[in-house]
Chains A and B, each alone.
Chain A
């Protein structure tokens, strides 16, 4: 084990890799709430959906040597009228497909998203199915519309991780993301460099308007 760690790691022996994670599922099943719980350990009943929260990161330490950083893309509400852009799931390494266990139709929608991911996304994408709002059935069992066994059987058949979660009580939220982190190819990713995500090649850095290597210039100047 020690040798593998060094092989895949940065100087110092630690392993670190970053992955793109996307959320999918019907509107109002709790995608943004799951992210908010995972990233900030908060929950808000009346939160205005999604504004300004579409690009978050969170780090999980799997053990003393291994850190996984999630670059989390929320839908920004573009799923509401079936208008998610392909850019959203391009190069996603992992996806959390969410349904609401009190709404049977939301599982059908989740299944459709899984199909879409298997057709369009990375071949090796890790997909987790999350049956959210578990707190509602803890209070009132008759509110449940999707039996755990049904969803579990589907997840098994489709090769998905599966959890019933509650963004409200935090039940299984950390567990969900940790299980994903454990399945990710950290070894290969950390060898490929910080941006473990597939397809991140050496692009140009537009980050600053500072002048390029060779030139003097500045906005008023010229490199002639």
Chain B
């Protein structure tokens, strides 16, 4: 086997999406990158796994039995471990296009975006209105409220920070969202679906936070513009599952000279004068005889996910998720083959929203006739977590298989990494899309490189050999 180089500009640990994007970008920009993962597959927490792996991971079957066999070929399943969708006008889409990783991954629309009003059997499930026109038709509001909502959405649509005549007499940098809602006279139910299913806040904390109105308006605009891009929902999703995304960016990195090594365990991180100076690691396949390949290399910086630095991260919360296999679409959703359904916290007496993300064979993630739905929320209690997810699980109807583990800790770095040159990403949060993940990518890049990440123009120079 070939020798590892004696020195790299950057070592990346973990092949989650955040790490793979950064690895790809750094390689394109000419950095010499070594990228390791302790697992035998790409994706880390953002992997998509097959059904057999799912059963084995969650252990919910009797030993000796092979329950996955009744669901067709295990490899026809690509089940996401992280429930997220891409905003079609969001930053991840921008990065995918700017880097040409769209060559390796194909996307399809998510068929619908829904919100629940009320609770239990009497609950209404309705499409999230996506513009002023749809607001007028929505069953979520009475006739007068519809007009107020339309006025609000028209104002959001015309809002231009540089043009005070569009501000409706408000200074959004000073205003709370409650004051904005009050100005348009919106009812609580309308505030709920706007804040939670369009601005995609997971709690109500944004309402009274001073100056948050601007952020809220921007979030609504992202939703509306994403919706308008392809028409059915603001979301798109990669064929074969989210696990394709880290693989695509890893390939980008490799094309530009990045070195990849799975099954590689980091044995030691070396420091020199408080700063990272290198690593010792071992590559060994599962079941492989002997010591494996031990090596040591120097590096100036490390970017990695929290699992590689248990002493340098803290837990900032826990989220709960249940991954469910269905053999039918979800009731009251027009038989959509894929969707997001948000149950705002106030509707079910919680502080955090419950999210349902569902995909199906339309996205090549399972055999025909099946649906994969992930129900998730932020943990609010310390016991009986399945009860916290119950309103979401009820929405699903009959469930063939349910995979639910203990609460998942959400980690973040204690320090910003400038002291030791070790830059640690955040765990995937409970949001339903990748916007906070791309914020983390930009933040990590800024900390590691001391400049803003610019992805525009990165694809120039690709196909060097073909076009020379």
Instruction: Give the interface of A toward B (CB within 8 A).
Output: 27-28, 36, 39-40, 50-57, 76-78, 80-83, 85-88, 90, 120, 199-204, 206-209, 211-215, 217, 220-224
Contacts and interface: CB of A to CB of B under 8 A. Distances in A.
A224 B157 contact: yes
Contacts of B131: 223-224
Contacts of B263: 82
A82 B254 contact: no
B93 A206 contact: yes
A28 B3 CA distance: 13
A57 B467 CA distance: 11
Contacts of A215: 225, 228-229
B17 to A, nearest CB: 13
B124 interface: no
Given A27-B2, A85-B250, A212-B228, A40 B465 contact: yes
B107 to A, nearest CB: 5
A85 B23 CA distance: 15
Contacts of A57: 466
B132 A224 contact: yes
Given A77-B259, A222-B157, A209 B244 contact: no
A36 B103 CA distance: 20
A207 B250 CA distance: 20
B160 A224 contact: no
B257 A87 contact: no
B251 A54 contact: yes
A43 to B, nearest CB: 13
Contact of B231 (A207, A208, A209, A212): A212
Nearest to A80: B2
B251 A87 contact: yes
Interface of B: 1-2, 41-42, 75, 88, 93-94, 96-97, 102-109, 131-132, 153-154, 156-160, 220-221, 224-225, 227-231, 236, 239-240, 244, 247-248, 250-251, 254-257, 259-264, 283, 285, 364, 461-466
Contact of B462 (A52, A83, A200): A52
A38 B364 CA distance: 33
Contacts of A217: 225, 228
B229 to A, nearest CB: 4
A211 B230 CA distance: 10
A221 B159 CA distance: 8
Contacts of A222: 156-159, 221, 224-225
A53 B466 contact: yes
A91 to B, nearest CB: 9
A87 B247 contact: yes
A90 B78 CA distance: 13
Contacts of B104: 87
Given A51-B465, A81-B1, A215-B228, 17 more contacts: A51-B257, A52-B461, A52-B462, A57-B466, A77-B254, A78-B250, A83-B260, A90-B240, A201-B108, A206-B97, A206-B107, A212-B230, A217-B228, A220-B160, A223-B157, A223-B224, A223-B227
B74 to A, nearest CB: 12
A196 to B, nearest CB: 15
Nearest to B465: A53
Contacts of A36: 465
Nearest to B285: A82
25 contacts: A40-B465, A40-B466, A53-B463, A53-B464, A53-B466, A55-B462, A76-B254, A77-B259, A78-B250, A78-B260, A81-B260, A82-B263, A87-B104, A87-B251, A88-B251, A203-B108, A203-B239, A206-B93, A206-B96, A206-B236, A208-B97, A213-B231, A222-B221, A223-B225, A224-B158
